[in-house]
């Protein structure tokens, strides 16, 4: 048995029992009309999750079972994301180690189950969508409040460090915006007590929360981790093809990559790179669904995975 899949046992130290449990959490991502969506449990505003039980054959089989039971949605592509084990992430009564997974899928019938809900991940992180330039939430709201937080430190070195980390994460002071820093941005807002989860976690409500829906426990932090992972991975592995239909236009592919990265892409350069890397092939079919002239339909060349160990989209992002 893999070391990661050993069941968690209760340990005793100094005569006291430490109740430690293992939890499985899924970040299930799909595209819906050029909007990156995440599968949630709407009543709890949470990601699908459940305990890892002795009856589960493996971590992945346990996760797949919980997701299908809670949402009715079967999982396709899946990879382990991160293990969260901070002592205060759930509460003081028990220690829960959460093993998270990233799953990529298709929305075939979003209304098939009442308990299934797809939400744009930009509902939770409105500052992450830069396809139309830096959103007002960053320029008009976050910057002055983060500056106030940085300047509130008594120590000069701490003040400078706070603002340095803020400027790097959010692209302030003429720095470039890095789409892969999604987790660092959320954690800075948590540290500055600008998200609801920080106030719920027992911190002083010195500031009101910035725009963006909250989630239970640390599920929004887990979602931010998944966004950062996926934004990085689409640059060196062809996982984006898990999120487009079997037949697609190059414009559909570009819009999907832009939606995931939160950045615009140089169209000619993108198409040139896709064709140079031989990631796709023409099907000989066309579609008029995009409007205007019929557009060529393509499909992903699955045999590219056998030809090369690494293949990605090498995004020619438009830099602001």
CB-based burial label for 45 (10 Å; 0-12, 13-18, 19+)? middle
Cα–Cα dist 206/241, whole Å: 44
CA 113 from centre of chain: 23
At 6, the pLDDT band (50, 70, 90 cuts) reads very low
- Phi and psi torsions of 84, nearest 5°: -105, 125
The label of the residue with tokens 């120590």 reads: 155
What pTM does this model have? 0.85
Residue 10's CB is within 10 A of a number of other CB atoms, namely 9
Whole-angstrom Cα distance, residue 139 to residue 172? 9
Cβ proximity of 313 and 257 under 8 Å: yes
Q: Give the residue among 198, 145, 138 at the shortest CA–CA distance from 169.
A: 138
Query: How far is Cα 120 from Cα 113, in angstroms, rounded to an integer?
Result: 18
Please tell me the CATH code under which domain 7-122 is placed. 3.90.79.10
pLDDT number for residue 121: 96
CATH architecture for segment(s) 240-307: Orthogonal Bundle (1.10)
17 phi, psi to nearest 5 deg: -85, 130
pLDDT, tens digit, for every residue of 291-309?
Answer: 678 889 999 988 876 666 5
113 pLDDT band, cuts 50/70/90, is very low
Each domain of the chain, given as residue ranges in start order, spans 7-122, 127-211, 240-307
Question: How far apart are alpha carbons 197 and 218 in whole angstroms?
Answer: 7
pLDDT tens profile 178-206: 999 999 999 999 999 999 998 875 555 55
Token pair listed for 110: 């979003």
């Amino acid at each position: 048995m893999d070391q990661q899949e050993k069941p968690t046992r209760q340990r005793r130290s100094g005569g006291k029992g430490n109740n430690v449990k293992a939890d499985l959490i899924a970040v299930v991502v799909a595209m819906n009309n050029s909007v990156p969506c995440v599968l949630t449990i709407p009543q709890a505003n949470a990601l699908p999750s459940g305990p890892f039980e002795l009856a589960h054959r493996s971590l992945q089989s346990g996760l797949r079972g919980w997701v299908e039971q809670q949402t009715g949605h079967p999982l396709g592509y899946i990879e382990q994301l991160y293990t969260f084990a901070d002592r205060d992430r759930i509460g003081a009564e028990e220690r829960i180690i959460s093993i998270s997974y990233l799953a990529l899928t298709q929305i075939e019938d979003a209304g098939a189950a009442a308990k299934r809900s797809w939400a744009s991940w930009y509902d939770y992180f409105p500052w992450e969508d830069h396809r139309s330039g830096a959103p007002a939430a960053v320029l008009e709201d976050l910057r002055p409040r983060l500056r106030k937080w940085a300047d509130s430190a008594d120590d000069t070195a701490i003040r400078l460090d706070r603002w340095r980390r803020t400027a790097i994460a959010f692209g302030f002071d003429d720095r470039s915006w890095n789409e892969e820093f999604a987790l660092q941005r959320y954690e800075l807002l948590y540290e500055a007590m600008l998200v609801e989860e920080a106030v719920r976690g027992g911190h002083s409500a010195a500031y009101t929360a910035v725009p963006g829906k909250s989630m239970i426990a640390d599920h929004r932090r887990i979602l931010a981790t998944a966004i950062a992972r996926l934004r990085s991975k689409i640059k060196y592995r062809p996982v984006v093809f898990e999120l487009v239909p079997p037949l697609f236009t190059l414009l559909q592919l570009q819009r999907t990559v832009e939606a995931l990265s939160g950045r615009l892409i140089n169209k000619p350069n993108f198409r040139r790179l896709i064709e140079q890397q031989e990631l796709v092939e023409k099907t000989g079919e066309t579609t008029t669904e995009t409007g205007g002239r019929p557009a060529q339909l393509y499909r992903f060349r699955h045999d590219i995975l056998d030809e090369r160990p690494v293949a990605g989209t090498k995004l020619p992002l438009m830099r602001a």
